[in-house]
Amino acid sequence: MIITIPWLKEHLKTKANEKEIIEKLTNIGLEVDGVKENSDAMGLFKIAKILKVEKHPNADKLKICDVSIGKKEILKVVCGANNAREGLITIYAPPGAIIPKSNFKLKVAKIRGVESKGMLCSESELNLSDLSEGIIELKNREKDLGKSYFKSKSDRSIDISITPNRADCLGVRGIARDLSSTGIGKLLPIKKRKFKKSAKHSIKISIKKDPNQGCLAFGSCFIKNIENKESPEWLKNKLIALGLKPISAVVDITNYVMFDLNRPLHAYDADKIDQEIIVRDSKDGEEFEALDNKKYKLKKGMCVIADKSNVLGLGGIIGGTKTSTEFDTKNILLESAYFLPSSIRKTARSLSINTDAKYRFERGIDPNSILEGLEIAADLILKICGGQVSKFLVGGKNFNKNKIIEFDTSRFENLIGIPIDINEAQKIFKSLGFECKKSKKYLKVETPSWRPDITQDVDLIEELIRIKGFNNIKSVDPEKKRESETLNFKQKLFHLSQRSLASKGFLETVTWSFTDSKIDQQFSKGEKEIQILNPISSDLNVLRRSIYSNLAIHLKKNQDRGYEDLSLFEIGPTFYGKNPGEQQIVIGALKSGKVSRKSWLEKERSFDVFDIKSDVIKTLTELGVPEQYLFVNDNTKECYHPGRSGSVLLKSEKGPQLAYFGEIHPAIIKKMDFKEPNIFGLEIFLKNVPEPSKKIRQTKKNFQASDFQKSERDFAFVIDKIFKIGLLEKIIREIDYKLIQNVKTFDVYQGENIPKDKKSVAINVILQADDKTLSEKDLDQISKKIIEVVKDKTGATIRS
């Protein structure tokens, strides 16, 4: 909502200056977004005429226009608008002008090799409307060539952001009323107008009792024998200051009343109405051409204003071309109605129309302003365009009963924390237009018809504190007391995982929860896709089912920038259904490239599956799963290299899936065209990480260390090639948990001297007893046992 101080002062008697007014506005919840200087800068925009149009030699869509601004000089301006043509009167912006929409300062510039001195403007570029197609077309302005389009003395405009509950402040008067309640000034009364109602209201108006009827009241008057014309300067300036384009006196006056009183009106060319006005539900498929020059196909049950043969307008949203007023319009029907906010909203949304009237009606117009709006507009039309007015007819519902709230002022203190005096409350209410009656315990507060947002006592409390001032609320220091844990187990895991991965050299990233379905498919075969109906772009069209999708996309982007040795991770949701909660938190990490690339010290080597396995195992143990509970096998998913990947499960192969790790499938690498194709990943599923039932301190055994010498024995087993070494180690470990302290494979060999279907595995075993130093005899005994058990369980022989 834009206002100017002089306009405001037509409703508010105040000595306050602009700065004081702006501060007050902000303090009462009418936030000032900005103040725009309309004066000098805007004076640079000149009314101009295109004298000649030539094709641009280097661009099909561009034209070179010879532009005159009334002087002898002809300006060459490059323009891309379709409607740029010889003889067109439009608005010219010279170099140095600042385009209001983009805040871009124009310079003399070469456009595709041709110099352009400034530009010709569209309505949207000047913030006059949203119309961005083509440049502005002015009519009857040839005499004004070279004059500033915006009056250089027009007022500074103050842009106020009005919250959706404050429909009443979508008019200057409403803002003045709110300001008056702060004590900054006095709200001036609207002066009564007297009419000689000499014309006959010759158009019958009926509101049909249709099931969806969105129009609750319809007021109108007939004005005949007018002379429609350009508005007088004062009116044009008012509208221009608001960023509107003056059209004709009749239209400008209806707009003026809308912005002045928040009372939308509509004027019909009465001679174009077929017999009568019928307010009804639309029929399915009915068509109508609106004033935005678009044709709309209506659905059943939209509120339309029609005559005997056509739809003339969408009530409260937009009028139609059939009965639009023109400069030659002689007789008009002026409409002032009340439409249901929900009906307006539904229709406008379904047709995607946004207008100033719709914006106001959907927020709630004062239903008791129907007559006032008609009177003020009729008065102005008679003054500017002449003619005779009929009586004012208002049909439909009567709105003279206001809501009454019984308000207990002690509720104010309960909620806000500071008391309010009942007299102070009464004073604030009155200044806002509420009627108050004191009764014993409470105030009987009657809400004015322009405040549909006030329905219960908290709304009244807000009004009081808003005007009393939020700065009067006394701050209460928070108590430093904690009664429940800040984080639950899963949340602790989440935070710990971040630090755990980052401490292993991974950079944490945060990516969208949605991704490109084409990439997501690569990583989530066979799972159902979860589509977003209105994605921001077609390559962000599904919720990610795999944590890898976005990581892979971004890994590639980084590789393309020349960074190949990368470790990235993200912890976040992946989705397996479109219902709330069908999601889980997954840690995903990708690393690509080499270790020690170009190091003088270390031999460079490619990352391999054991690098990523280390990361998985280390992370899981840091998350609290004891290493002996981590069961690793080679079951894997399709997105991994089938031979170089694995699973980590809890305790056994039947246990919950803790993680996958391994090389990303070469087919995916190829399809996504990675520059550095050596890529490994890990996925850890946090929901499967078990929550210990006890604290570590409760489960930790007493410290016991043997004082006796430890011994080592190395074994080389020749075993089936496919036999899993993890299992072999486990078999040995289980032979004697007391004696065997550690089992470690230190070499795996296949080749010469070993049968083709076998491998040689060298294992180091550490032996230690609690009660003595093991003798040669003891050691021989246990070694023999190890060899026997291994042979027994695996068929392996000791390598000689």
Partner 1 sequence: MSELDKINSIFNAKIDNVKNKEELQNIKTEFFGKNGQISQQFKYLGSLDSDKRKKFASDLNKIKSDLSNQIEQKFFEIENLEINEKLKNEKVDVTLPVRPYQQGKIHPVSQVIDEISSIFSEIGFSVAEGPDVETEYNNFTALNTPEDHPARDMHDTFYLQKDKKLLLRTHTSPVQIRAMLNGKPPFKIIVPGRTYRCDSDQTHAPMFHQLEGLHIDKDITMGHLKGCLYYFIKEFFEVKNVKMRFRPSHFPFTEPSAEVDIGYRIENGKIVIGEGEKWLEILGCGMVHPNVLKNANVNPKKYQGFAFGMGIDRLAMLKYGINDLRAFFETDYRWLSHFGFDPLDVPTNYRGLSK
- Applying the rule CB under 8 A, the residues between 322 and 361 that interact with partner 1 are 341-342, 345-346
Nearest to 90 by CA among 143, 152, 141: 141
Cβ 200 to partner 1 shortest distance, Å? 39
Cβ 25 to partner 1 shortest distance, Å? 10
Cβ proximity to partner 1: between 275 and 531 the closer is 531
Q: What is the Cα–Cα distance from 596 to 38, expressed in whole angstroms?
A: 63
In the range 485-504, which residues lie near partner 1 by CB under 8 A?
485-488, 491, 495, 498-504
Cβ proximity to partner 1: between 164 and 755 the closer is 164
Rounded to the nearest 10 degrees, the angle between the axes of helix 489-502 and helix 609-622 is: 140
| By CB under 8 A, residue 702 contacts partner 1 | no
| By CB under 8 A, residue 506 contacts partner 1 | yes
Cβ proximity to partner 1: between 31 and 286 the closer is 31
616 close to 661: Cβ distance less than 8 angstroms: yes
Q: What is the Cα–Cα distance from 685 to 656, expressed in whole angstroms?
A: 9
| By CB under 8 A, residue 104 contacts partner 1 | no
Cβ 622 to partner 1 shortest distance, Å? 11
Stretch that binds partner 1, among 472-480, 652-660, 748-756, 765-773 (CB under 8 A): 472-480
Beta strands in 301-350 (DSSP E): 303-306, 311-314, 318-319, 332-339
| By CB under 8 A, residue 667 contacts partner 1 | no
Cβ 19 to partner 1 shortest distance, Å? 13
Cβ proximity to partner 1: between 35 and 748 the closer is 35
Cβ 473 to partner 1 shortest distance, Å? 5
| By CB under 8 A, residue 478 contacts partner 1 | yes
CB count in 10 Å sphere of residue 126: 21
Q: Is 735 exposed, middle or buried (0-12, 13-18, 19+ CB in 10 A)?
A: middle
Residue with tokens 């995982």: 497
Cβ 463 to partner 1 shortest distance, Å? 9
Stretch that binds partner 1, among 201-209, 434-442, 461-469, 660-668 (CB under 8 A): 461-469
In the range 362-391, which residues lie near partner 1 by CB under 8 A?
362-363
Q: Which of 108, 458, 727, 748 binds partner 1 (CB under 8 A)?
A: 458
Q: What is the Cα–Cα distance from 248 to 239, expressed in whole angstroms?
A: 11
Cβ 596 to partner 1 shortest distance, Å? 5
Nearest to 515 by CA among 549, 483, 489, 487: 549
Helix (H, G, I), strand (E, B) or coil at 76: strand
Report DSSP letters for 203-245, one per residue.
-EEEE---TT--EEEEEEEEEES----PPPHHHHHHHHHHTPP
Cβ 580 to partner 1 shortest distance, Å? 4
Cβ 324 to partner 1 shortest distance, Å? 28
In the range 154-173, which residues lie near partner 1 by CB under 8 A?
163-166
Residue with tokens 């399709």: 638
CB count in 10 Å sphere of residue 766: 14
Size of the site for partner 1 (CB under 8 A): 100
Eight-state DSSP code of residue 199: S
In degrees and rounded to multiples of 5, residue 338 shows phi and psi of -125, 120
Cβ proximity to partner 1: between 601 and 696 the closer is 601
Cβ proximity to partner 1: between 531 and 706 the closer is 531
Cβ proximity to partner 1: between 455 and 775 the closer is 455
Torsion sign over Cα 287, 288, 292, 294: positive
Q: Is 184 left (phi over 0), alpha (psi -120 to 50) or beta?
A: alpha
Encoded tokens for 741: 């302290």
Query: SS in 3 state form for 121-184?
Result: CCCCCCCCCCCCCCCCCCCCCHHHCCCECCCCCCCCEEEEECCCCCHHHHCHHHHHHHHHCCCC
Cβ 464 to partner 1 shortest distance, Å? 9
The amino acid present at 435, given as its one-letter code, is E
Q: What is the Cα–Cα distance from 515 to 268, expressed in whole angstroms?
A: 51
Cβ proximity to partner 1: between 280 and 346 the closer is 346
| By CB under 8 A, residue 474 contacts partner 1 | yes
**Nearest 5°: CA angle at 782, between 777 and 785?**
130
End-to-end CA distance of the chain: 93
The long-range contacts involving 598-602, CB below 8 angstroms and separated by at least 24 positions, are: none
Cβ 553 to partner 1 shortest distance, Å? 8
Cβ 499 to partner 1 shortest distance, Å? 4
| By CB under 8 A, residue 212 contacts partner 1 | no
Cβ proximity to partner 1: between 31 and 372 the closer is 31
Cβ 452 to partner 1 shortest distance, Å? 12
Cβ 382 to partner 1 shortest distance, Å? 35
Stretch that binds partner 1, among 49-57, 510-518, 671-679, 753-761 (CB under 8 A): 510-518
In the range 565-584, which residues lie near partner 1 by CB under 8 A?
565-568, 572-573, 575, 578-583
In the range 395-434, which residues lie near partner 1 by CB under 8 A?
414-418
669 close to 677: Cβ distance less than 8 angstroms: yes
In the range 63-102, which residues lie near partner 1 by CB under 8 A?
none
In the range 170-209, which residues lie near partner 1 by CB under 8 A?
none
Cβ 461 to partner 1 shortest distance, Å? 6
The CA–CA distances, whole Å, from 344 to 170, 209, 216, 301 equal: 17, 17, 12, 11
In the range 586-605, which residues lie near partner 1 by CB under 8 A?
595-597, 599-602
Cβ proximity to partner 1: between 320 and 681 the closer is 681
In the range 516-575, which residues lie near partner 1 by CB under 8 A?
530-536, 540, 543, 550-551, 554, 557-558, 561, 563, 565-568, 572-573, 575
In the range 726-755, which residues lie near partner 1 by CB under 8 A?
none
Stretch that binds partner 1, among 142-150, 197-205, 466-474, 652-660 (CB under 8 A): 466-474
The CA–CA distances, whole Å, from 21 to 54, 133, 624, 674 equal: 51, 38, 61, 61
